[in-house]
Structure 1
């Protein structure tokens, strides 16, 4: 049986009935992922979008020098994916890895398209989810060029207070676009 957390998440942006949820339960799959294990590797096609039931994940790209750049940090009650690859079904340049031992729900791309016809409210839900992801990305890009590291750190901590306690500082620094040493200085100033 699929979780109450997921059911409530769907109902944040759409009205998903019990019978709608039964349709979703037929195609969604639960997976346990050990810390540091990959759900998606650069170059693969993202065939799933992942809902985090328990744990923490990150998505990242790796530059030509082998340096990882964190794109997204996600914990319980959040979705994570390489949206470009997921939507286009083309090979992507994003990897997704568990930061902690995690439990995730995998919703397959091909099944999601079919579910849109069976559960129209689900299409509304994902439209809103993808719109919010786009807005979040724009806000992040804007803050990167208009705010200093301390302001960006304060923002992420105010939006996601559990991040500081659970996510290694190296990943937070990468997400903020600064070095771990710079993040340590910012944290000391606070």
Structure 2
């Protein structure tokens, strides 16, 4: 969190009562629609995904996250409405959960945490815009190449099944793209 906005000891003491450490196992659901998302999770260890399930029960990954990254269903979190995304542990780990009530209290009483929240919201917006543009304007091969360039670590952290879903393609299509690129 200090990387987002450096904080002082009194800023940490203000947020501490609203934090809880949550362990999770591989495959464990941390959020399932129609629950309301009441947390922002900072991942200490392990990895987590957020995904959507359609009417045919096909899962599509929206986010793949691991150590030192945040994850939430932000729309559900801020609007206090049922989640549209599921959040699930991919690899056993631990996360620090900040609850909505606590964050809202900090927004009212702390300039630092208000600014921190704004910065995080801006990052979520920019990341969402980039992700939307990639899915709309890049073909699967271009998305794969961009992922390899921007996040080469994903190929060590996540299964090809999860990567294919994140790219919005089938595992078979991912395999074809990888084979074509390896021949060139």
Scaled by the length of structure 1, the TM-score of the pair is 0.90
Partner in structure 2 of residue 151 of structure 1: 142
1:104-151: CA deviation from partner (whole Å, max 9, x where unpaired):
011000010111234321221121111111111111111222212122
Q: Quick one: distance in 1 between partners of 2:38 and 2:66?
A: 20
Map of 2:29 onto structure 1: 38
SS of aligned partner of 2:145? helix
Match of 2:116 in 1: 125
Aligned mates of 1:187, 1:21 — CA distance in 2: 45
CA RMSD of aligned residues (A): 1.3
Partner of 1:50 in structure 2? 41
**Count of residues paired in the alignment:** 181
Match of 1:179 in 2: 170
* 1:94 aligned to which of 85, 99, 102: 85
SS at match of 1:12: coil
Match runs of 1:64-103 below 5 Å: 64-103=55-94
Aligned-partner Cα distance in 2 for 1:142–1:117: 34
Deviation at 1:154, TM superposition (A): 2.0
Partner secondary structure for residue 13 of structure 1: coil
Rounded to whole Å, the distance in 2 between the matches of 1:162 and 1:87 is: 30
Counterpart for residue 15 of structure 2: 24
Q: How many angstroms does 1:187 deviate by?
A: 2.0
Q: Which runs of 5+ in 1 are unaligned?
A: 1-8
1:13 and 1:124 in contact (8 A); partners too: no
From 158, 163, 168, give the equivalent of 2:154. Answer: 163
More divergent stretch after superposition (180-189 vs 107-116): 180-189
**Secondary structure class of the residue paired with 2:3:** helix
Structure 1 residue 33 displacement after superposition: 0.3
Aligned to 1:3: none
Q: Deviations over 1:38-64 (max 9, x none)?
A: 100010000111110001000011101
CA distance in 2: counterparts of 1:84 and 1:113, whole angstroms: 15
